[in-house]
């Protein structure tokens, strides 16, 4: 399915799960973006350290072009600094991020890797900054600080190292916390802690490997390992391995699972409402999916686990590639609830 949208993801060859995740989130954002007419927003830079009011304005400007469930849950805001090392002139600019790609260190924990990622660094000759005061390219340095933290924090551990002479996979064990990952010291304006709920692991080599995942059931607080079709319960100690590649944390604040579920419900309905009426219609509690004969009688959130469920769809659907009718999988979908009606 992914290959239909991006030929880069070729079947029968090892792909990078981080690149796949980034591609999926970008595609979902574009499809679910509630902004259809994007206004021109002039990029703003600051000569002095910006304040919260300026940060809010930058975030508000970003939302004028980008409003989706992906932004609501996964995106945060950072402040990037460039400094001329000749005249000390500084330039600040707000940017958004969807994940942190961290360099990893030997015998280090996750906070040390975050510190390494955020520390100021001198730019090499090929990336030096044009200083507006010196009126030329000068020796410079850059730094990043987190400002607004996302509800769901995705961390990418950069285990694959590429140089001009060799390529290798770094197998160092990075100690990452299961609970209360505290980013207060790394954020300019926000104090927040995070709990781990998922890990994607990569075993094997740079050229040949295998992906598995560890996921936490929020009701039972038990961890499970997913290895293709094999699923088994594991302990918390078994989650921490040198194969960890992507880490998924959720923020411990008022944006709980229940609140995030409401955000998802609202975002999907608002996304559909912004589409042309002939392609997407909501009648009462019936949500018609655009360009299909499918409808969801309700976007269901289980009273026991507050998890989104998806429609149990019967019959056939159209293939994205051939536009022909193709049978749906025989197994009952595990994510969505349904109206239990066949498609005519």
pLDDT of amino acid 265: 58
C-alpha 21, offset from chain centre: 7
- Domains in the chain (CATH in brackets) are 16-258 (3.90.70.10), 275-327 (no CATH)
pLDDT of amino acid 314: 32
Q: How would you label 322-336 residue by residue, b for 16+ Cβ within 10 Å and e otherwise?
A: eeeeeeeeeeeeeee
Of 95-99, 154-158, 160-164, 301-305, minimum mean pLDDT range: 301-305
**What's the CA gap between 19 and 1, in Å, rounded?**
15
| Residue 303 pLDDT > 50 | no
pLDDT digits (tens, 9 = 90+) for 176-222: 999 999 999 999 878 899 999 999 999 987 777 899 999 999 899 99
pLDDT digits (tens, 9 = 90+) for 215-270: 999 899 999 999 999 999 999 999 999 999 999 999 997 444 455 555 555 555 55
pLDDT of amino acid 129: 84
pLDDT of amino acid 59: 95
Of 15-19, 193-197, 291-295, minimum mean pLDDT range: 291-295
pLDDT of amino acid 340: 39
- Bridge-based pairing state of the strands 244-251 and 152-158: antiparallel
């Amino acid at each position: 399915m992914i290959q239909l949208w991006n030929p880069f993801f070729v079947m029968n060859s090892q792909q990078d799960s981080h690149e796949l995740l980034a591609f999926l989130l970008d595609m979902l954002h574009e499809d679910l973006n509630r902004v259809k007419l994007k206004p021109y927003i002039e990029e703003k830079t600051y000569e002095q350290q910006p304040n919260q009011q300026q940060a809010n304005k930058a975030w508000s400007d970003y939302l004028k072009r980008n409003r989706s469930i992906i932004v609501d849950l996964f995106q945060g805001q950072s402040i990037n600094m460039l400094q001329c090392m000749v005249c000390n002139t500084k330039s600040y600019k707000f940017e958004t991020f969807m994940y942190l790609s961290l360099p990893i260190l030997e015998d280090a924990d996750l906070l040390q890797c975050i510190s390494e990622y955020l520390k100021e660094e001198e730019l090499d000759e090929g990336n030096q900054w044009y200083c507006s005061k010196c009126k030329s390219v000068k020796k410079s340095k850059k730094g990043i600080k987190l400002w607004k933290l996302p509800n769901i924090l995705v961390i990418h551990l950069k285990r694959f190292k590429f140089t001009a002479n060799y390529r290798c996979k770094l197998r160092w064990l990075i100690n990452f916390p299961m609970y209360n990952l505290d980013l207060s010291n790394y954020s300019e304006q926000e104090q927040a802690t995070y709990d781990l709920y998922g890990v994607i692991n990569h075993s094997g080599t740079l050229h040949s490997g295998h992906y598995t995942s560890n996921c936490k059931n929020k009701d039972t607080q038990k961890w499970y390992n997913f290895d293709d079709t094999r699923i088994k319960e594991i302990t918390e100690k078994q989650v921490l391995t040198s194969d960890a590649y992507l880490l998924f944390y959720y923020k411990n604040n008022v944006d709980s699972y229940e609140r995030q579920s409401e955000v998802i419900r609202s975002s999907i309905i608002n996304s559909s409402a912004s589409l042309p009426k002939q392609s997407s219609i909501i009648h009462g509690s019936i949500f018609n999916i655009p360009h299909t004969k499918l409808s969801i009688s309700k976007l269901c959130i289980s009273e026991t686990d507050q998890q989104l469920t998806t429609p149990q769809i019967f019959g056939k659907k159209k293939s994205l590639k051939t536009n022909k009718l193709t049978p749906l999988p025989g197994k009952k979908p595990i994510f969505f609830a349904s109206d239990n009606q066949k498609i005519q």
